[in-house]
Structure 1
Amino acid sequence: MKEIYTRRSIRKYDNKPVTDEQIHELLRAAMYAPSAGNEQPWHFVVIKDRSLLDEIPKHHPYTQMLLEAPLAIVPCCDSSNLKYDGAFWIQDMAAAIQNILLQAESMGLGTCWCGVYAREELVEKISKMLNLPEHIIPVAVIAVGHPAEKREVRERFRPDRVHYDKW
Structure 2
Amino acid sequence: MNAIFKRKSIRKFQKRPVENYKIDLILKAAMTAPSACNQQPWEFYVIRERVKLLELSKISPYAMSTKNATVAIVNCYRNDIEMPQYAEIDLSACTENILLEAAEIGLGAVWLGVAPIKERMQLVREILGIPEHLQPFAIIPIGYPANEAKQENRYDPSRVHYD
TM-score range, shorter chain: over 0.9
**Identity across matched positions, percent:** 41
The CA deviation at 1:50 is: 0.6
Deviation string for 1:31-71 (max 9, x for gaps)? 01111111000000000001110111222221111121100
Provide Cα deviations, 1:100-127, integer angstroms capped at 9, x if missing partner. Answer: 1111111000001100000111011111
Mapping 1:1-167, distance limit 5 Å: 1-80=1-80, 82-84=81-83, 86-165=84-163
CA RMSD of aligned residues (A): 1.0
Partners of 1:35 and 1:127 in 2: how far apart?
A: 23
Once structures 1 and 2 are overlaid, which stretch shifts more, 102-111 or 59-68? 59-68
Q: How many residues are treated as equivalent by the alignment? A: 163
For structure 1, the residue ranges without an aligned partner over 5 or more in a row are: none
Shift of 1:152: 2.6
Instruction: Give the AA of the match of 2:108.
Output: G
Q: Which runs of 4+ in 1 moved over 3 A?
A: none
- Superposed displacement of residue 16, structure 1: 0.5
Give TM-score, length-normalised by structure 1. Answer: 0.94
